[in-house]
Structure formats: structure tokens, C-alpha cells
Amino acid sequence: MTTTTFGEALAASDASQGQGTLTDGFHLLVDALKLNGVETIYGLVGIPITDLARLAQASGIRYIGFRHEQSAGNAAAAAGFLTKKPGVCLTVSAPGFLNGLVALANATTNCFPMVQISGSSERHLVDLQRGEYEELDQLAAARPFVKAAYRVDRAEDIGRGVARAFRAAVSGRPGGVYLDVPGAVLGEAMDAAAGAASLWRLTDPAPRQLPAPEAVNRALSLLADAQRPLVVLGKGAAYAQADEEIRSFLESTGIPYLPMSMAKGLLPDDHPQSVAAARSLALSKADVVMLVGARLNWLLGHGEAPEWSPDAKFIQVDIEASELDSNQPITAPLVGDIGSVMAALTERARPGQVTAPAGWRDELEARKARNATSMQKRLADDPHPMRFYNALRAVREVLADRPDVYVVNEGANALDITRNVIDMRLPRHRLDSGTWGVMGIGQGYAVAAAVETGAPVVAIEGDSAFGFSGMELETICRYDLPVTVVVLNNGGVYRGDETNSASADPSPTRLDPTAHHERLIEAFGGDGYHATTPQEVADALGKAIASGRPALVDCVLDPSAGTESGHIARLNPKSAVPPLRQPRKRADPATRRARGPK
């Protein structure tokens, strides 16, 4: 007996037509996505969307199935950032939807275009709270966390719903959009010709937005009068794919620039105008600062003194007018898309009008040289067990020969130190915890980077950060993706040497310092490496990247390596009461295992 799956049967019957002259919600949704250029869906199936995923796959859309919706959502968000097209995540009702919503909210916070399509349960039961299977008012739940949220209530509105969701996600400031599709709508039949006529493809999904000429002139005059100009490039600048416009403005003026973490590589990190290695001097002394796709939020100290000069004047290039003045007065607003704005600045600048005064450049150069020397010293130090710098020195040396590698990065110390140690040379090749400083993006972002680009990916993860999406190692192996996960394993959240003096339980920051994370990937057929020296790290990583196979390198670090909360310890509230001191009872189980038998 031969069995035919739902997807095969429907695909065989001409995906756009369904059975005979009828079509249904399943087909219309897949057709609407295909019509709007969707090539990949990231998701996790169950009632009521399993057949939708099958049909999408049978119709030529790639379906990547995850172990947790948050990772599927993170993958869709990263796909949005990398491609400038909304990444699509597919989830089941209620809990699956909520699991994905965290990623959708994170995408919105990071200004990445993404659409989460979720099946939902029977409306007439949900709305009267009659206790339906996976009952939740998903549309209302999504609304506070997203750029826009819509529900399709009739099959004939599927094309409109998809068009609206995609337009909202990608136009203006990109963000996350929720599209609710009740199971009943997927199964709803309608005339195939009318169904086909109800779909449309977006024209110019993210129209250019040109700045007004007077706004450009105002910004140029401010820059022309600056003694210490600085450009800050943010991930909006990376997203905009306006690499040439940005480069020609910077190089024609000579203004020093500072890349935010995901803008690293927009121009190569060794570019002579990069002042990443003189960050605090550049921020504290700049008199005119041009923000390009970067918000003046906590990551930039809200533009406040003493991190910034109290007299600094700001120019802000952003597509979202309401972002301006959110923290500091914006003397020269430049509202528009970054490509158009940067091109207009270059075009309208008179020759020699905007330059970077030599004294300023020299001052920054001197600080860069000084800081580079202390970085070299830190990297040259070779403690055993390894600490962050010598483990990352090995990673840096391997990646120096592979600028094509996409780097994913999360953790606290693992994030801060990797950002400074690992240079990027190509645009949009670094994806990290972003505006929320969120943990859990690692494996999802890595899957998307590999799937969307086909290039090798190295995810550099703190051991705590890794755990949030660790099960996706199976996803990486199932799809045989060229992803190497590097776990910087210091056995804890921030560090792994804290003892608990109050009880036998491990302290809140403790994880297992004896863990062999490489064994996790071996369970799924990937290559595991355990590295205790920089040489072992370099050998393992080099081999893993060259193999193009799923791999994990567990790097054993000293549990005392790292500082609490990394570079942002100041954000921890301080208790007004002196710390409670209790006699230490006995070492917790993880410490006992780490110490081994007496």
C-alpha cells in the first residue's frame, strides 16, 4: 500500500488551485507567501499548522523546523536583518505563539523585519473563554510587543493580511509583525479563481525616503564648523545595505567613526578612520556627533555627560522621526533612509566643506595606539587554565583568515570581550544580543545565518548563554549546517567560582564547571572538541570550519575568569542593607565535582 502525505497530495493537485475549482486557506497562505518572495519559513509544527508547513515545503518553500519556537523566531529575525526582507516564523496556538512572541518582541526592539504567523484556536470558543484547546486571545497578547498585529478572519482576506503584515514589517522603521490565522480559516474553502485574484505582491515594500535639502544643508554646516566630529554607525546602518554610500561619505570627509557592535565590518575594523579602539575618548570629546542608524539609548549612555561632552551637538540619521530627541536635543535631524541621506550628504557637500581637523585625528590616533598596545599585552598573556583573552586570541587568529565567517555572539564577558577582540571585515557578518542584551539568540541566529547565506558560522557563546538555545544543536545537525559553536565555559553565569555560604545549594550564578558541552553535539552526530589550551582551541576551530560540518568546541576556562555582569555591572541595583553573612556549610555539588575526589 502506498501512502501519500497531505502535502504531497495537495502539491500534486496544483498548489495554486487546490482540489478542482476550489482552493482553501492553506493554499492561499502558501501562495501569498511565495508571491511575496518568501523562500524559507522557520517554525515548529502542531495543531493547526502542521499541514501548512507540509504544503509550504511541497510548494518549494524551505521549512526549517526547530526544537523551541523562540529559536525559530530568532532565526526569522536574523533572516530579516541579513536579507532586508521579513523573516517568517510559524507557530502553533497559545504556548507556541507565546514562545515565539519573545523573539518577535526582540526583533521589534532591534528594528529587524519579521512576521510571526501563528495558528490559533476556534474564535467562538476562545472569545467566550469556553476552555478551548490552547485557548488564548493571541491578537491582544501580541499587540503591546510588536510593531503591528493583524488577524485574518476569512480565507478571502489572506492575501490582504499577508500584504499588510509584510508592508508593516519592512517599511519605515522595520519591526516585528504578528499575523493571526485561526485554524478554521486555513480549512475554509473558496473558489480557486476568486482566491487567486485575492492575492497580491507588494510593490516597492520599503520605499526610499529622501531627506529635505534644507535638512541636509543644516547637517553639513554643523559638520563644517566641528572641531572634533564623530560618526556613530549602528545596526540600522548595517541593515540599510547602503555600504557604498556610507563609505564614500566617510572617506570623502575623513571623519572618524565608531561602529556599534553589529555595525562592525560595515567598513573593515582595521579601517584607519575607525576609532573603536579609542571609544571613550571619542565619545567624551566629540563636539558634533552624527548618529547613523544608531539610537542614543543605554548602549550609548543616553548621550549624557560624563560619557559624552555636555556641549556635544547631535545630527541623527534615522528613518523614524519620533526616535529623534528621545534623549538629547537633535540639532540637525536627517529623517530618511540611510542610503538616500548619505548619498545626499556626499552630493551636497562642497569640496573641502567637511573635514576632520588634524589635531583631532592625531589625538585619536595616539589613544588608539596606546590602547592597541595594552590589548596586545592582554592577548599575549597565557594563563592556564585559559581565560577569556587567551582563548579568544586563538579564535581571532583562526578567523583572521576567514573574513567570510558569520559571527554570532552572546553572553556577558563572552560578549564584551569577543566584541573587542574579534575584528570583522565584511558588513552584516556579526549578530549579537542586540538592544535588549538578550540571552538565547545564539543557535537561532546561527541557523539563519547559515541557511540564508550558505557561509560558515561561528557562534561564540558564554556557557550560560549557550544553554538558552542549546537543544538547537540537534536542528543544526539535522539540517547539516556549517555552524561551529564555541562555548567559553567558565562554569557560571558571568563566572563559575562563587560559593554559597548559606546552604548546600549552588550559588545563583553557578553552573557545572565540569560540563563537557561537546558531548551534546556528539549525541546528534556533530563533531565535538574539548579544548584546554589556545592551541587546542585554534586547531579545533580551524578543523571545524574547514569541515563545513556541525561542530562544538568546548573551551575550558578558569571559573574565576570574568566579572559579574561584564561591562555593565553598574546597572545592578545596590542593596541598602549590609550583606547577610552566614557560616559556610559545605561546598556545593558542582564545586565538589570540580575539585574531584579528596
Residues in touch with ligand ADP (CB under 6 A):
110-111, 173-174, 234-236, 239-240, 260, 262-263, 293-295, 297, 299, 318-320, 323, 337-338, 435
Pick from ligand TPW, ligand ADP, none: which does 111 bind, CB < 5 to 8 A by kind?
A: ligand ADP
DSSP state, 227?
A: S
Rounded Cα gap, residues 416 and 438, in angstroms: 13
Pick from ligand ADP, ligand TPW, none: which does 462 bind, CB < 5 to 8 A by kind?
A: ligand TPW
Pick from ligand ADP, ligand TPW, none: which does 412 bind, CB < 5 to 8 A by kind?
A: ligand TPW
Q: Which of residues 526-565 bind ligand TPW (CB under 6 A)?
A: 562
User: Is 229 among the residues that bind ligand TPW (CB under 6 A)?
Assistant: no
Candidates 464, 469, 475, 500; binder of ligand TPW (CB under 6 A) is 464
Instruction: Give whichever of 44 and 300 is closer to ligand ADP, judged by the CB atom.
Output: 300
Pick from ligand ADP, ligand TPW, none: which does 486 bind, CB < 5 to 8 A by kind?
A: none
Residue labelled with grid coordinates 533612509: 337
Instruction: Give whichever of 45 and 324 is closer to ligand ADP, judged by the CB atom.
Output: 324
User: Is 40 among the residues that bind ligand TPW (CB under 6 A)?
Assistant: no
User: Is 180 among the residues that bind ligand TPW (CB under 6 A)?
Assistant: no
Candidates 31, 452, 463, 527; binder of ligand TPW (CB under 6 A) is 463
| Closest distance to ligand ADP from the beta carbon of 542 (Å) | 30
Candidates 146, 391, 414, 553; binder of ligand TPW (CB under 6 A) is 414
In contact, 223 and 284? CB cutoff 8 Å: no
User: Is 437 among the residues that bind ligand TPW (CB under 6 A)?
Assistant: yes
User: Is 462 among the residues that bind ligand TPW (CB under 6 A)?
Assistant: yes
| Closest distance to ligand ADP from the beta carbon of 213 (Å) | 18
| Closest distance to ligand TPW from the beta carbon of 209 (Å) | 33
In contact, 556 and 530? CB cutoff 8 Å: yes
Instruction: Give whichever of 110 and 274 is closer to ligand TPW, judged by the CB atom.
Output: 110
Rounded Cα gap, residues 243 and 338, in angstroms: 10
HEC readout, 472-527 = HHHHHHHCCCCEEEEEEECCECCCCCCCCCCCCCCCCCECCCCCCCHHHHHCCCCE
Rounded Cα gap, residues 106 and 174, in angstroms: 12
| Closest distance to ligand TPW from the beta carbon of 23 (Å) | 41
| Closest distance to ligand ADP from the beta carbon of 76 (Å) | 17
Q: Lay out the site mask for ligand TPW across 82-101 (x = CB under 6 A, - = otherwise).
A: --------------------
DSSP state, 546?
A: H
DSSP state, 204?
A: S
| Closest distance to ligand ADP from the beta carbon of 217 (Å) | 19
Say what the alpha-carbon torsion angle 320, 326, 329, 333 is, to the nearest 10 degrees: 0
HEC readout, 97-164 = HHHHHHHHHHHHHHCCCEEEEEEECCHHHHCCCCCCCCCCCHHHHHHHHCCEEEECCCHHHHHHHHHH
User: Is 490 among the residues that bind ligand TPW (CB under 6 A)?
Assistant: yes
Instruction: Give whichever of 337 and 463 is closer to ligand TPW, judged by the CB atom.
Output: 463
Say what the alpha-carbon torsion angle 39, 45, 46, 47 is, to the nearest 10 degrees: -20
Which residues lie below 8 Å from residue 54, measured CB to CB, with a gap of 6+?
Answer: 5, 6, 7, 10
| Closest distance to ligand ADP from the beta carbon of 321 (Å) | 10
DSSP state, 544?
A: H
Which residues lie below 8 Å from residue 147, measured CB to CB, with a gap of 6+?
Answer: 108, 168, 169, 173, 174, 175, 176, 177
CA nearest to 65, candidates 84, 80, 49: 49
Residues that contact ligand TPW, how many (by CB under 6 A): 18
User: Is 390 among the residues that bind ligand TPW (CB under 6 A)?
Assistant: no
Q: Which of residues 491-510 bind ligand TPW (CB under 6 A)?
A: 493-494
Which residues lie below 8 Å from residue 352, measured CB to CB, with a gap of 6+?
Answer: none
Instruction: Give whichever of 43 and 234 is closer to ligand ADP, judged by the CB atom.
Output: 234
State which amino acid sits at residue 41.
I
Rounded Cα gap, residues 196 and 213, in angstroms: 44
User: Is 107 among the residues that bind ligand TPW (CB under 6 A)?
Assistant: no
Please report, as ranges, the residues that interact with ligand TPW according to CB under 6 A: 411-414, 437-440, 462-465, 488, 490, 493-494, 562, 566
